[in-house]
Amino acid sequence: MASTRGPSTTRILHQYYRLMASHFGPTLWWPGDSPFEIAVGAILTQNTAWTNVEQAIANLKRKKLLSPRSILKCRTKELHAALKPSGYFRVKSDRLRSFCAHLVENYGGSMVRMAKRPLPELRVELLTVHGIGPETADDILLYACENPVFVVDAYTRRIFSRHGLVDPTIGYESLRAFFETRLEADVALFKDYHGLIVWTGKDFCRKNPKCETCPLASTLPKEGPRLS
DNA sequence: GACCAGGCACATC
DNA sequence: GATGTGCATGGT
């Protein structure tokens, strides 16, 4: 199925945003006290529930490990122990260190300095870091570096394909372009829109998969995809 | 006790 | 290029 195009889809995307926003209110997404903490959360939440990530970040804070240099300096065993609640602790320990090494080597450990790089270059650069894929890069670009990038995740694909707006097999970049070409490039809008998708996904796709009480229920096609 | 979660890298075909 | 697999914990 081809994606729908034109102003009508733009209106639909704004309608979805209004429906979710009026249900949940402002999300103030992403949780985190600093750009670096946001980047750490983005890596730790890969294929993992946020509740588990919170525990790992609390461990890092308690052990005073929530800085690029302290993560690079500390013993592997200690980092593993801190990351354990978030799962995949061996993998994530390596990925976190790769990101920290990149940050220290190229920006003196400063997220602010990194955020000053132009968006297209920074995105390509982040994707070269081991353990940073498209979604993690875009989380960092939008929430930690304040760039107008639309973050796509499993919930985005699930919700918008279920509603017949995109093909369920659509690739990451195509789905990102679907939103970015139809919405104004507004950092606050993109932040809140993604947050609302996550909240909708958690509260309804998972807990109430029949969609009856979902804020988007009124727009759900009754018999499969209907928009072409 | 099975199943799932806001991915990613790597191997194989 | 597409598909399959390993990685690990905590909540439901």
Distance, CA of A179 to CA of A13 (rounded, Å): 8
More confident residue, A228 or A40: A40
What's the Å distance between residue A171 CA and nucleotide B7 C1'? 14
Contact (CB, 8 A) for A159 and A205: yes
Which nucleotide lies at the shortest CA–C1' distance from A197?
B6
CA of A198 to C1' of B5 (A): 12
Which of the pair, A79 or A206, is modelled with greater confidence?
Answer: A79
Bases along strand C below 7 A from a protein CB: 6-12
pLDDT digits (tens, 9 = 90+) for A175-197: 999 999 999 999 999 999 999 99
Q: Using CA atoms of A53, A59, A60, A62 in order, give the dihedral in degrees to the nearest 10.
A: 140
Detail the protein residues whose CB sits closer than 7 A to any atom belonging to strand B. Answer: A 29-31, 42, 45-50, 52, 87-88, 91, 129-137, 139, 151, 153-155, 198, 201-202, 206
The one-letter code for the residue type at A219 is: T
SS3 A221: coil
Task: Please give the angle made by the CA atoms of A92, A97 and A102, to the nearest 5 degrees.
Answer: 130
| pLDDT at residue number A55 | 97
* Separation CA A46–CA A141 (nearest Å): 16
Query: Which positions of strand B lie within 7 Å of protein CB atoms?
Result: 4-10
CA distance A143 to A48: 18
Nucleotide nearest to A139 (CA to C1'): B6
The Cβ of residue A162 has, within 10 Å, a number of other Cβ atoms equal to 19
Structure-token pair, residue A215: 């804020």
Q: Is the pLDDT of residue A61 over 70?
A: yes
Q: Is the pLDDT of residue A227 over 60?
A: no
Q: What single letter denotes the amino acid at residue A46?
A: Q
pLDDT, mean over chain A = 92
Q: What is the pLDDT of residues A113-140, one digit of tens each?
A: 999 999 999 999 999 999 999 999 999 9
CATH 1.10.340.30 holds for A35-144 = yes
